[in-house]
Structure 1
Amino acid sequence: MDSIILSIIVAIVALVAGIIAGKFIFAKDTRQRVEEAEQHAQNIIREAELRAETTRKEKELAAKEKFVQLKVEHEREVTERNRKLSESENRIRQKESSLNQKADQLDKQIKENEAIKQNLNKQIEVVSLKQAELDKHQEEQTRRLEKISGLTAEEAKAQLVESLKQEAHSQALALQQDIVDEAKQKANKEARKIIIQSIQRTAAEQAIENAITVFNLESDEIKGQIIGREGRNIRAIEAATGVDLIVDDTPEAIVLSCFDPLRREIARLSLQRLVADGRIHPARIEEVVEKTRRQLEEQVMDIGERTVIELGIHGLHKELVRMVGKMRFRSSYGQNLLMHSREVANLCAVMASELGLNPKLAKRAGLLHDIGKVPDEETELSHALLGAKLAEKYGENPAIVNAIGAHHDEMEMQYVISPIVQACDAISGARPGARREIMQQYLQRIKELENLATKYNGVEKAYAIQAGRELRVIVEADKVSDQESERLSFEIAQKIQTEMTYPGQIKVTVIREKRAVNVAK
């Protein structure tokens, strides 16, 4: 029992000793941790103090820099203000000096005016005295005159007034005549000024149409195909187009000769298609020429539409548009008719604007003034009257109709734009290099030569080629026999010889050809 109690006591003592030992160890460990924590806290505090000191110094430096910057800006602003103030002071001093000078001048002028005024007053007094003396002298003279003439002052005044009226009337007539002459001179001067301005503002190229076109070839071998066996192809082309083909030693070129630009263009385009196709024979040639002629008609319409659009003309009849396009392939005294008409239209618009008239109406009349030169059928009317008739037929304004018909004085001018169109037509034709009279005479002779042949019965076509040295007449085989062809050739040659004037000689060739064509289906 005692041993158990002793064991228990020993155990309790050991337990208490262990507890006390544990507490001692725990307390020691805690003190160590507390010391470490205090040391760490002191480190943190020191770091915080260092950072705070660094931040404070940085802020102080930034504040100093900001202060220095603001001080520099302030000094710059102060300097700028001082400069502006000094400039303003200088300007004020200059103005003050100028004002002082002007004030001095004004004072001098006032003093001079005062002196002049005093002088004038003295002169007025002198004049007044002299006027009084003159009045007395005049009264005495009037009494003497009344006594000498036996007329009273009222009667003499009436006679004087009558004589003055007559003199004033004659002077007024002379003055009126002077004013009229001066007005005419000014009107002529103003008209010349407007015309010169119109010419200067409307610049146009002057291009003289030639009577030949050069068709370029890729090689000279194609010339043989174009000529054909025994010349069949070239004769077929000339017969179908009315254009003379000159095949000479010129490398890679064939010359197309004809006075009519439309025929030359048809021949050129037809040759271009035939050469590209490679099939060149009489039947194919006629087919291509006819197709080209139809396509050229479409091209003529397209040219007319582009022209009226570029000029800003609206509501023009389709037939008139087509005639405008045909002008591209016609010439007047060597001057391209479409370029001439466009130039006249622009000149008319400028001149009408300068005169305060309707520029659109004037431009329309200027474009259409020569449509009588491109009719579908030839008539005996002049181109001006024919153009007026066509314009009236297609519903144009009466002012435009009158301007077209009167631009060569073949109709009486009834509207203001008529003389404008006439003047602009003359201006366009009078430009240096615009026209050549010799070319127009040549074209007229060629047309007369062709027209002379077409008047005979049985003649289908007549073409003047070789620059008018040869006339080829194509007759209908059903109406003209071989013997009649020879007689017709002789008669045409005799008529040309008796009725026409021409250089050299003209060869008349009558061509009669009979063809039978069938189609196998």
Structure 2
Amino acid sequence: MTVVLAIVLPVSGLILGWTIRWLYARFQLSSSEQKAERVKQEAVKEAEAKRRELILETKDELLRERNQQEREFRERRNELQRLERRLLQKEENLEKKQSDLDIQKQRLADRDGKIREREVFLDEEEQKWKAELERVAGISSDEAKQLIIQSLESEARHDAQVLINKIEQEAQTLAERRARDIIVTSIQRIATDVSSDVTISSVSLPNDEMKGRIIGREGRNIRTLETLTGVDIIIDDTPEAVVISCFDPIRKEIAKVALERLIQDGRIHPARIEEVVLKVTKEINQIIFDEGEKVFFDLGIHNLNQEAIRALGRLYYRTSYGQNVLKHSKEVAVLAGMIAAEIGADREIAKRGGLLHDIGKGIETDSDGNHAELGAELARKLGEDPRVINSILSHHNDVEPNCVESVIVQIADAISASRPGARRETLNNYIKRLENLEQLSESFEGVEKAYAIQAGRELRIMVNHESVDDDRAKELAKDIAKKIEAELRYPGRIKVTIIRETRVVEYAR
């Protein structure tokens, strides 16, 4: 029994526990199904409510769209109606205008017909009157027309000449005033030496015995010195002086300095002469380079090679009518730069053209070209601006200036050469220049007498008042000035004044 109970009780417990578990699980399943059913029903209700809400919103949207389309349709229909009315109105206006144009066209056609008839009538009348006038006047219409044209042409020429003279006088007055202000300002601003250089060609000796030592035994010393320097040493009766003659100023300077050093040293023999001449030549060449470089530095001009510097430096020993050519070139460059700055031209081009305008005088060559051509060729090799080359070529009017800078260089060159004390001129050349001016002026028809005054700066010309009227006097002054420019060489500017007067003399007895 005990065993049975021991077996039955566990089995019964197991069955009871399984039954209770099964009942619990069944209860739980029934509760979940009910809950799920409730959730489902709520979801269905909510979906139904959403559906009804969406249907209502869609209907409202459709209603709004339809109302909007109806409004737009009405507006477009109204606009089309307005356009239609405007087109109808325009069409009516066009028809009315066309009708008016047709009427006007008909009137113009009638008027043209009458005008043509009138023109024919007037042409016939004109021919009749022209024939009558030709019969009365005794000349044809072409001859009368030619007389009228000649008369009008003569009056027009006279009026034109009067107007031209007036304009030229006004322009000349203004131009002279402006040019005078610019030139005076430039001259006042420049600071330069007024005294002219004199080429020294003699060497002082301590005594006359030094002449014998310079000549040497059988003339060895003087021959050596002349051969090495290329100069002529003239030893004459002049006390305590030796004259050095040479067309080359550099060789003359080398000979002069070498001879002075030999005299100071006292040792004069061929070997010593050769040594001193070689040393002086190097020093002179260095001075030439230094002087050229100094001028470029003072003027602020750069980018020039050593050949140009040496050519310009050789001008330090050149003179023109007593004026040092290097100082003259520097002065021209300064003046050209000032004038260019005043009138708005290229200042650097004007300065370079002014500095290099006489550089051909410092070129060592066997060519027969003048100094302007040689200087232009050197500037062309150095790659200078074409305006600088033209300034060099045209500063003596060998070619026509093609830029304002070339004209400025001409003006500056004339100012530098003609200022008081710059150059000296021999009496014969001075008198000859004045005679040439007077003779050239007197070669013109109508000129009675010509006078060169103010050192040749002004030319006063007396003309015959019967053969030269006022208009002709103006043309005569121009012709004389042009001929002077073409045939004569002169520094500065020459003023040509024509004097025409009528004198009536009567005596009371």
The two structures have a TM-score, normalised by structure 2, of 0.48
With normalisation by structure 1, the TM-score equals 0.47
